[in-house]
């Protein structure tokens, strides 16, 4: 397989090289920070940004939306969006 990004320095602007399903949890953080979150089913998303000290709620996100935020946790309490995928 040819990978045109093989020798590219990773940054928030480069394409995601890893994707993972997200199951929201109120105390568990991700093993790896995201570059963005794909929202499969729209709703509200409560998250902890990588450099944040408090959770933030993004309201009324539409289905199919990619939220460009580096995230370390998605909380179950307050999150109504579903089918979430982390892009890292």
pLDDT tens digits for range 1-45: 888 778 878 887 788 889 999 999 999 999 999 999 999 999 999
Number of structural domains in the chain: 1
Domain, as residue range, for 57:
19-87
d(CA 25, CA 73) in angstroms, rounded, equals 8
Query: Which pLDDT score, from 0 to 100, does residue 62 have?
Result: 98
Q: Under a CB-based contact definition with an 8 Å cutoff, are residues 33 and 70 in contact?
A: yes
What does the mean pLDDT of the chain come to? 94
Query: Which pLDDT score, from 0 to 100, does residue 11 have?
Result: 81
Query: Which pLDDT score, from 0 to 100, does residue 72 have?
Result: 97
pTM for this one? 0.90
d(CA 64, CA 42) in angstroms, rounded, equals 8
Tens of pLDDT, residues 42-75: 999 999 999 999 999 999 999 999 999 999 999 9
43 within some domain:
yes
12 within some domain:
no
């Amino acid at each position: 397989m040819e990978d045109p990004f093989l020798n590219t320095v990773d940054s928030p602007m480069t394409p995601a090289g890893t994707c993972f399903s997200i199951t929201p949890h109120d105390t568990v953080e991700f093993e790896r920070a995201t570059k963005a979150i794909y929202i499969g089913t729209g709703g509200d998303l409560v998250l902890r940004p990588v450099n944040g000290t408090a959770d933030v709620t993004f309201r009324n996100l539409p289905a199919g939306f990619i939220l460009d935020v580096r995230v370390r946790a998605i909380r179950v309490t307050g999150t109504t969006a579903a089918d979430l995928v982390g892009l890292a």
